[in-house]
Structure formats: C-alpha cells, structure tokens
A and B are shown apart, each in its own frame.
Chain A
Amino acid sequence: MKHLAVTLLLLAVAPLVHAVDAAALLHEVDRNLQPESYEMYRKLINVEPDGRRKEFVLYSVKKGGDKVLALFLDPPSEKGRSTLRLGDNMWLYIPNVGKPLRITSLQSVIGGVFNNADILRVDFAAEYDAEGLEETSDGYTLKLKAKTATVAYDRLVMQVDRKHHLPLTIEAYAASGMLIKTLRYSQMKDFGDGRLRPSVLETDSPLYKDYKSIMIYASIKARDLPDEVFSLNYMGRVDDLRGK
C-alpha cells in the first residue's frame, strides 16, 4: 500500500517536475537568443515562387519581456515607418499619415510569410506557457501553449538544440490544430559578449505555398533604453536612437 502511494505521488509530481524544467528551458532559450533589452539590425527577405525577392532592413529595440519598437531603414518606400508593440497592443506609424494606427499581430507590415508577431517578437516566455518537454536524440521538444487568445499562434512545438539550448525549428499551430508556419533557425554566429546564436531564421507556410521569408540578424547588442522610447509619441523619432 505504501509503495502504491509513493508510486502514485511520483506519477502525480512527474509532470510538474517536467513543467518546471520546460519553463526553465524556455527562459534559457529566450536569454540565449537575445538579451532582455537590446538593439538589433536585421534584414527581412520575402522570396516568391519564381525567385523574385523583396528586402526590408529594420532597426529594432526591445525592453523587458513585452516592449518592442522597430524602424524601417529600407526600402526607400518604407523608410521612416515604425511599429511599436506593448504587450498585446501594436501600432504602425507611417510618416505621411503622421500618427500611429493600431494594427494586429496577424497582419504583416511587410507582406510575405512573417507576420507582425514574428517581426515584433517578444520573449517566448512572455506569451507562452511551457506545457511539455520531451527529450529527443538531438535535444528537446518543447510544447508551448499561448497564455491568452490574443497571441498570434495558439501552440508552438519547438525543437531545442541540446548543446546550446537554442531553437532549431518551431512549428506554429492555430487553435484548430492547423499548421500555420514552420520557422527554421540556422547559421550560428558570434554576436559578441559571448552570444553565439543562429543568424538566419527562415519560414514557410502551407498557407503561402512556395513562398518563403528569411530574417538575417546582423547585430544584436544589449542596450537599456528609457521606457519613454516605447510610446506612441516617440514613434516618429526612433531614428534618433541609432548610432548613439
């Protein structure tokens, strides 16, 4: 009877132990990918089925778990546009319009497979709970569930590299269980300050057959900015942060 009780207790506790490990791993993945507060330069490329490409260059800053601001530097037609995310709230600033408009995580300010949630990504742990962790031959499979219905993807299945504790692939699913897109990280690069992480993120989607989008990270540096930078009134002045 005593053995049975211990066995039942262990069975009951085992998922909790896994859940804790999964949450800790998720936090580790977040910090290994990027500092909590940073500035970043990256290029986004949309590739059409016939090979034609359209490129966008973005300067981004992030603070804490849920504040991200991005400025378009290229192409010239998009120059000066900025996007701000504060938790679930997102805005787009277009210089000619001169004031921020609310946008949603499901839209894409650049077209292509990346949506606004991908472009203005906050920490995974800020949006998802780690629900499960499985060990595989290469590392781990993390199963993540969105904390609220406002998150762009209902579930993520993340393959995590055993050595570096960094994501290799992420499958993003809708609440219906439909696969929305697959994200693949590649090309490890030293970004300085001991940060070794993938420099390329590629995505495709069954919803955009034969299209793909690529994100190339060129620079990620820890930078702590005042909270006031992450506000609507600052969206027209983001360029002032560069080079300082």
Chain B
Amino acid sequence: MKHLVHLVGVVLCPCVPLLAHAADDFSFDLSAYAAPGPFELHGYAELRQEYQGLDEDSPLYRLNFADSGRDALNRSIAALELSGSYRNGESRIAATWHGEQQHDELADHGAGRLYELYLAHQPDAGTTVELGKRAVKWGKGYAWNPVGFIERPKDPNDPELSREGYVIAAADFIHTRGGDLHTVAFTPVLLPVTAAVNDDFGQETGLNAAAKLYLLYRDIDIDLLWLGNGSRPGRIGLDFSTNLAPNFEIHGEYAYIHDHEQKVLDAGAMITRSYDAQTWLLGLRYLSERETTWIVEYYHDDRGYSEAQMQDFLNRVDAAPDALLPPLRSVGQTGYTRPTAMQDYVYLRVAQKDPFDILYFTPALTAIGNLDDGSWSLTPELLYTGIDDLELRLRATVLHGDRLSEFGAKPNDRKVELRLRYSF
C-alpha cells in the first residue's frame, strides 16, 4: 500500500505545478524588484559534451594530433560565469569572472579569467567615466567586426560568447537633440600596454588612444572610429546600420589600417610584410512573415592569408619531418591556424522561431564559406529555452574542403556538441 501511495505521488507530481497554475490569479509581487539592493550577483553554470571526428589525413591533424593516434576525441567541459556589481550613489563596481575545466582523452585543462573588473561613475545621464578591465565591443557585424579595434576577436562559430576585456580608462558623453541628427555620443578610450598590463594587445608602447563617435542620423546608426598608432598600427573606421524596411536591416563596417604588419612564410622562413590594409563587411538581416531570421554577411580582410600563402603553409606541414613539426606549430599560432584566417568569407545563418507551434524552440543552420579556396563549414543547431533558467543546445558541425583548403585542413571534419546552461 505504501508503495502504491508512493507510485501515485510520483505519477501525479508533474501535475501539481499545473494545478497550482490553474488556481493562480497571475499575481505579481513587486517588493522583490522595486528597491534593488547595492549588491547583485548572477551568472550561469554550463556543461558541454563534445565529440570530434578527427581527420587523420589532414595537415593540421598531423600538426596537432599526430602523436595521439586517435580518430575521435570526446571532451567534457564544465564552465562557470559569475557577474556581480556593487552600487553606491552615482558609482558602480562591476566584475565578470569566467572559469572552465575541460577533460578529454589527451589532457585535462582548467583556467579561470577575470573578464571584467571596473569602476563606473555616472554624474549625470549623459556622462559616464569607466576605469578598469572592460570588454569594449564596437561594430555592427554579427560574425566579424573589422572595426573592433580594442577588443579580442570574436569566434564566428559562436559570436554571442562573452569575451575578456582590456584594462582601459574610458568616458562616454551622450547628447540628444532631436531632429535629423537625433543623438551624438563620443567615447574616448585610453589603453595602456606594459609588461604587466594588456601585454597581449600589442607592442609595449605605453598608452594607446582610441575613440568612437556615434551618430543617430535620420534613422541610421553611424559610428566613426579611430585607434592611434601605438601598440597596434593606427587605423580609422566607419560602421552603419539601418532598416530598409521594418523587417529588413542592412549593416556594414569598413576599416583602413596604416602599415599593418603581417608575419608570413616566405621560402620557408618567417618574414614580416608591412602594407596598408583594408577590411570591410556588409551584412543583411531579414525577418520573414513566418519568423525565419536570415543573416547574411560578406567579409573581406586584406590582413588575411591568400590561398597561395595558406597552401604554402599547409604543404610544409604535410612534407615536414616529425622533428620540424614543433616550429611549424609555432608558425601556425602566429595566424595560420586562427579561425577564418584568410581573406574572403561569406556567413549565413537561418533561424526559425517556434516552428510547429513549439514555443522557445529555435532550430538554426549556420554556414561559413571561404570564398578564396571554396571550403566551408555547416552547423545545424537546435536550441530550446522552454524550461525555467535552463537552455539546451545541440549542434553539429561538418567541415568540407580540399586537403589544402582552410576547412579541409582542420584536424577534425565533424563535431557534435551538447550544451546545457543553467542561469541564476
């Protein structure tokens, strides 16, 4: 009898919330929200399980996995991201910490990084001063940002991931006047580079200066951007975004970089080439009547490797004796093996909201094509956010291309990832 009661309890248990909802009068207790306390903490915990099918015939497999003898790799990752703030009058201290621990058949690795820690002071609505480590994000592009002058590069395979910032001193002045030129905002930034601070930004040159001028002119968002010559070569840029129709947006970015220095293999030796480079992006976002979102972007970067340069590197990896692989691994890390390291790409993402009347379910398909060598990656994805505070994402990636093409040369040719994220 006891077992029967227990069984009935288990069976009925899922119905209890529904009954409670049915009796609910949709009340809203304001007290939990109306008077925010000075401290606030939120974040997420995440579990990821990855399967990578390795391509034992590919050049970059030889470079990175030759000793392993493996044809597949299973990786488990646990991540935690915490964001907190303390408010006092017109000032606020905010911080974000991100930590990951990963395990696979080859190694265990764990690291925690402080992504942001800064003090913001806002004497009035139009003026803000910030000091500390801050992730500044400039540009209108979804997958790439040619005008992201003072930020770490975005991963086009997962552009919405948070990123680590740099230590900066910045101000933000906003002026709204109405009319055709509705809003003007000016954001000057100082970024020091020393042996102890922002050492991965560029050469140690002391203080770097950058600025952004934002204009909302006749329903067009326009940014004019500048980074002074210093740790990185000086550059200027422009971006814009506007709606051509309520469901059709166009955006673009352009940057001109003076005296860009590219490290490139030349007759087997690393040399540094210096040239003026241009990089730009043009994108469209369209929402159909059936709530399908299309994002298309074309990206060009003079700083990327040409097809011949990339093939030269991959050929050398292919032909090198084992003893020469470690130096070639270092060469790869200078740029050849970074994501989207060549010059011309197209990005396409199609996402369907709530198909088959399943609320909070978004299947999507993302494709990145390398227009220089014809290789591509294709990522179908299923996202479900219908369970309180939980997000489930299943994605698979297939890479395709000739052996000596960018995506064809990757060490893996397929990948499946399941991500479970709990927000709090």
- Chain A interface (Cβ within 8 Å of chain B)? 41-43, 45-48, 50-54, 57, 59, 73-77, 79-80, 86-89, 94-99, 101-102, 104-108, 111-112, 149-150, 200, 208-209, 211, 214, 216, 218-219, 225-234, 237, 239-240, 242-243
Contact = CB atoms under 8 A, between A and B. Distances in A.
B30 A219 contact: yes
Contacts of B291: 107
A96 B162 contact: yes
A227 B176 contact: yes
Given A106-B287, A243-B36, A48 B176 contact: no
Contacts of B18: 50-52
A97 B174 contact: no
Given A77-B385, A208-B357, A209-B357, A96 B21 contact: no
Nearest to B178: A227
A218 B34 CA distance: 10
Interface of B: 18, 21-22, 26-30, 33-36, 42, 44, 83, 87, 92, 120, 122, 124-126, 128, 135-140, 142, 159-162, 172, 174-176, 178, 182-183, 185, 187, 214, 216, 219, 221, 241-243, 245-247, 249, 251, 285, 287, 291, 353-354, 357, 359-360, 385-386, 388-389, 391, 421, 423-424
B246 A231 contact: no
Contacts of B137: 97-99
A173 B251 CA distance: 31
A225 B285 CA distance: 32
B183 A225 contact: no
B219 A88 contact: yes
B122 A237 contact: yes
A95 B98 CA distance: 14
A99 B138 contact: yes
Contacts of B122: 237, 240
A228 B174 contact: yes
A99 B92 CA distance: 20
A104 B357 contact: no
Contacts of B176: 226-228, 230-231
Contacts of B159: 97
A111 B359 contact: yes
Nearest to B182: A86
A43 B216 contact: no
A63 to B, nearest CB: 10
B173 to A, nearest CB: 9
Given A89-B219, A226-B125, A233 B214 contact: yes
A106 B247 contact: yes
A95 B83 CA distance: 11
A240 B91 CA distance: 9
B183 A73 contact: no
16 contacts: A43-B28, A53-B21, A57-B33, A76-B42, A80-B42, A80-B83, A89-B219, A105-B246, A107-B287, A150-B246, A218-B29, A227-B178, A232-B214, A233-B174, A237-B128, A240-B122
A90 B65 CA distance: 48
Nearest to B249: A102
A74 B33 CA distance: 9
Contacts of B142: 101
Contact of A54 (B92, B243, B386): B386
B26 A45 contact: yes
B34 A54 contact: no
B385 to A, nearest CB: 7
A76 B183 contact: no
- In the A-B complex, the 7 residue pairs with the smallest Cβ-Cβ separation, listed nearest first, are A98-B137, A227-B176, A77-B423, A76-B423, A228-B126, A218-B30, A226-B125
A65 B29 CA distance: 29
A52 B391 CA distance: 16
Contacts of A237: 120, 122, 128
Contacts of B185: 231-233
A219 B30 CA distance: 8
A88 B218 CA distance: 11
B172 A46 contact: no
